[in-house]
Structure 1
Amino acid sequence: MMFKKLILSVAMFSLFLQGCALTYPPLPEPEVMINKVDLRTDWRKGVNGGFGESSERFTLVPHGDFLYFTTNKGVVYKLRKSSGSRIASFESDLDVSAGVALNGDTVYLGTYNAELVSISLSEQKVLWKKVLTSEILSEPTYASNKLAVQTADGWLSLLSANTGDTLWRIKEDLPALTVRGTSSPLIQDGKVIAGFSNGKIKAFSLLNGSEQWSYEVRKPTGRYEIERLSDVDGRLVVENGIVYATAYNGTVTAVNLANGRLLWQRSIPSALSVSIKDDVLIAVDLESNVVALNALNGAELWTNDSLKGRDLGSPAFLGEYVAVIDRAGYVHLLNSKNGNVEARKVADLNLPPGSRMVSDGQQLFILTRNEQVTALTY
């Protein structure tokens, strides 16, 4: 009975947070500026569906000349990056919660019904479905013909990408209260690296799932459960043998991929992933301050607080600039050397809160809740 009450209270808290997210007051218009960079719209296309509950789970995957993604209505798309023209699509009746991982023209996605699904765009069919232990709240990861996926109940599983058969799985205990979501695991150098709701990142052998190392990014502290939230929900990033992780109400941490030893740590609470280019790491904290750090030692390079309170999404590098998108639909380009905002543009007049933006270095791609995909460049 106590367990059921706990689950109910957590569910109610989650609904409360989601409700708050949908009733934010409108943001004020940003200051009028003359753009130093010609940030422009390449194309905008309507699609069948948007990102649903959380845009962080509906990543777009640029690969070669194409862009792959799924929507919350279960439609998988392959678009041409240069024009937005549809190359292929596949409609399903799946209740999609996260996606996608990519293997050629095969995509993998997760559902609220705990299904991990493999879909072939070239063959236009579902190849296999695997029912896991709980809903999937982050996209799976593909490498070496294997899939790593986390479920909301704390299980990390490794599966065959060909058949969906489980190769191994491990369970991490969850705290009483967590942020709704999980990070997406990574497969790198013979290891599966994952972040958990208890503030830990761990590495496991790709071969058999044995634990290789563990590091506690942030120890839960505080009298009340809500003060103790320490989820590692932002996407993990691996660059040059270093694992970078962010913890809610906590830190940005860099650890050695080989042995899990701490390299540096900074107090920057964030629920978003970081972006890295040329040893410059960009993080956005819970108040939407944009911070640049030296990725090798954690030294601060600059901080921009001019966008504070604008509910920024995860940052992305676009050429020599840092791009961030706010809840009002504005994309801001920051000079990566000093953090100054040098251009901004409304990405979509009807852009809803929480839209996700990804970059291939030359273009920005945005999937919105109102069923639009937009490409920007300069």
Structure 2
Amino acid sequence: MRLCKYLLIGLPGLMLVILCSACSLFKNPEDTVKIVLLHTIKNRCIPKIIWTTSVNNDSSNLYSNLHLSCYDGMVYTANSFGIVKALYATNGKEKWKIDLSKKIGIFSKHVSALLSGGITANGNYIYIGSERAQIYALNNKDGSIAWQKSISGEVLSRPIVSNNLVLLHTSNGMVQALDQKNGAIKWSVSIGTPAVMSFRSETAPSSALGGVIVSNDKGRISAISIQQGQLIWQQQLSQMLLDGSSDIEYLRNIDTTPVILKDIVYVLAGNGKLVALDLHSGQIRWEREMHGVRNLLIDEQRIYLINDNYQINALHINNGLSLWNQNHLPHHKLTSPVLFNGYLVVCDNQGCLYWIKRSNGQYIAQQCILNTSFQTAPIVLSDKLFIQSQNGTVYAIRFQKY
């Protein structure tokens, strides 16, 4: 399975079998987790699907971390096979479409491009990487390839654009900066080799004040000078392995993108801590016990996160103390939250979207779509919410208050 990097490890005298929840198949009824559905919510606003379209998803239905991108009135979507589309945000009509899969052999068989991580739109280009260690820059007017570059490893997270550079965190523990216009590699920095046992994901970098902040699956966070590509500081957030111990201890580490607000970096460490660090020095300002499994969302007062029981938590931004906890969706695998029209919005693997008050965690609206599963967070453009389901359908949703 692609979610688990390894399932079997040879140990002296022992064969250890690791079962990842996303890779396991339950055969006995008593082994099946019962999904508890939320009681019907009395909607205080009216969610409405205004258009849908398909990205022509391949039939493999493999787990994908691909997500949408919005820019200048357009929605950009892709699937792992290699289809990339530009859609008008107003009505979902297709502006252009390109197929990045390859034709090989005398019968011109298509081979998947294995696109992954997500799309980033910036300026005249959109950027997307692949598990084949390729990064593409497409012209946003017609989808033609402006440049394509081979890089040091798989691109499992979305590219970040800052200071005219495209920043990538690859699966082999490298951070690379490419020229935004032509793909020339400006610098490469190793932030540590990945754990032998790890989930197939890497965090996207964050950038602020001329620096790049990135964490890895061994609980280390690094700050890199964006212009020179020099390491400024590193902080080990998870407990170091003892001599002779196994990388299996790192399975608890969760890949989440650091969030930078003013001069503070907020990050979830793999040892079950939410940590706030000084942006300039990397020194820890405060830390709180909190296992998180999704990217953080931060506003002017609160930190919102999804914990390992898929509960929604709101914490005080200054010290991480709990403000409220919403636990009415046990075993629903929730996406990262987003802000939309003043509310939190999360989606789940049952095909439902939930609108939540930021002040107290109260649900105000619920919308469920049949035969659908959401794995990546929605995005917001103006008065619309856009989300792509696992089967490649894109939904545009608008809502109004009663």
TM-score, length basis structure 1? 0.89
* Match of residue 295, structure 1, among 317, 331, 335: 317
1:3 — aligned with what?
Answer: none
CA distance in 1, matches of 2:26, 2:119: 25
Secondary structure of 1:238's counterpart equals strand
The alpha-carbon distance between structure 1 residues 355 and 168, as it changes in their structure 2 partners (threshold 3 A), is: closer
Give the counterpart letter for 1:9 in structure 2: L
Give the counterpart letter for 1:19 in structure 2: C
CA distance in 1, matches of 2:33, 2:383: 33
1:274/1:282 contact within 8 Å kept: yes
2:193 — aligned with what?
Answer: 173
How many angstroms does 1:239 deviate by?
2.2
* Match of residue 339, structure 2, among 296, 300, 317: 317
1:185-229 CA-partner distances (Å, limit 9, x unpaired): 123211111111110111111122211122223225697643433
Alignment of 1:89-100 (within 5 A): 89-93=97-101, 94-100=113-119
Alignment of 1:89-168 (within 5 A): 89-93=97-101, 94-168=113-187
* Match of residue 366, structure 1, among 371, 379, 387: 387
CA distance in 1, matches of 2:7, 2:348: 32
1:48/1:73 contact within 8 Å kept: no
1:80 — aligned with what?
Answer: 88
CA distance in 1, matches of 2:291, 2:209: 28
How many angstroms does 1:113 deviate by?
0.9
**Residues 181-190 or 120-129, more deviating:** 120-129
Alignment of 1:198-213 (within 5 A): 198-213=218-233
The alpha-carbon distance between structure 1 residues 66 and 198, as it changes in their structure 2 partners (threshold 3 A), is: same
How many angstroms does 1:32 deviate by?
1.7
1:193 — aligned with what?
Answer: 213
* Match of residue 358, structure 2, among 323, 327, 336: 336
CA distance in 1, matches of 2:260, 2:97: 31
Secondary structure of 2:24's counterpart equals helix
**Residues 285-294 or 82-91, more deviating:** 82-91
The alpha-carbon distance between structure 1 residues 21 and 274, as it changes in their structure 2 partners (threshold 3 A), is: farther
1:59/1:69 contact within 8 Å kept: yes
CA distance in 2, matches of 1:124, 1:39: 32
1:277 — aligned with what?
Answer: 299
* Match of residue 248, structure 2, among 226, 240, 259: 226
The alpha-carbon distance between structure 1 residues 133 and 18, as it changes in their structure 2 partners (threshold 3 A), is: farther
Secondary structure of 1:342's counterpart equals strand
The alpha-carbon distance between structure 1 residues 39 and 151, as it changes in their structure 2 partners (threshold 3 A), is: same
1:333-363 CA-partner distances (Å, limit 9, x unpaired): 11110011121111x3121252432234743
2:214/2:257 contact within 8 Å kept: no
CA distance in 1, matches of 2:96, 2:26: 33
CA distance in 1, matches of 2:9, 2:188: 25
1:216-270 CA-partner distances (Å, limit 9, x unpaired): 2322569764343354511222222322222345222222222222222222212
2:36/2:331 contact within 8 Å kept: no
1:27/1:327 contact within 8 Å kept: no
The alpha-carbon distance between structure 1 residues 243 and 91, as it changes in their structure 2 partners (threshold 3 A), is: same
CA distance in 2, matches of 1:268, 1:294: 13
**Residues 303-312 or 21-30, more deviating:** 21-30
CA distance in 2, matches of 1:316, 1:16: 27
Secondary structure of 1:229's counterpart equals helix
Secondary structure of 2:39's counterpart equals coil
* Match of residue 23, structure 2, among 11, 19, 22: 19
Task: Indicate the structure with greater helix content.
Answer: 1
The alpha-carbon distance between structure 1 residues 196 and 280, as it changes in their structure 2 partners (threshold 3 A), is: same
2:13 — aligned with what?
Answer: none
TM-score, length basis structure 2? 0.84
Say which one has the larger Rg: 2
1:260-296 CA-partner distances (Å, limit 9, x unpaired): 2222222221231011222221100011111001223
Secondary structure of 1:174's counterpart equals coil
1:60 — aligned with what?
Answer: 68
Secondary structure of 1:228's counterpart equals helix
2:329 — aligned with what?
Answer: 307
**Residues 118-127 or 128-137, more deviating:** 118-127
2:41/2:363 contact within 8 Å kept: no
1:92-130 CA-partner distances (Å, limit 9, x unpaired): 212212221222241111111111111113254212222
How many angstroms does 1:137 deviate by?
0.8
Give the counterpart letter for 1:214 in structure 2: Q
**Residues 325-334 or 353-362, more deviating:** 353-362
Aligned residue pairs total 371
CA distance in 1, matches of 2:7, 2:330: 34
Amino-acid identity (%): 23
1:220/1:229 contact within 8 Å kept: no
2:78 — aligned with what?
Answer: 70
1:304/1:339 contact within 8 Å kept: yes
The alpha-carbon distance between structure 1 residues 250 and 43, as it changes in their structure 2 partners (threshold 3 A), is: same
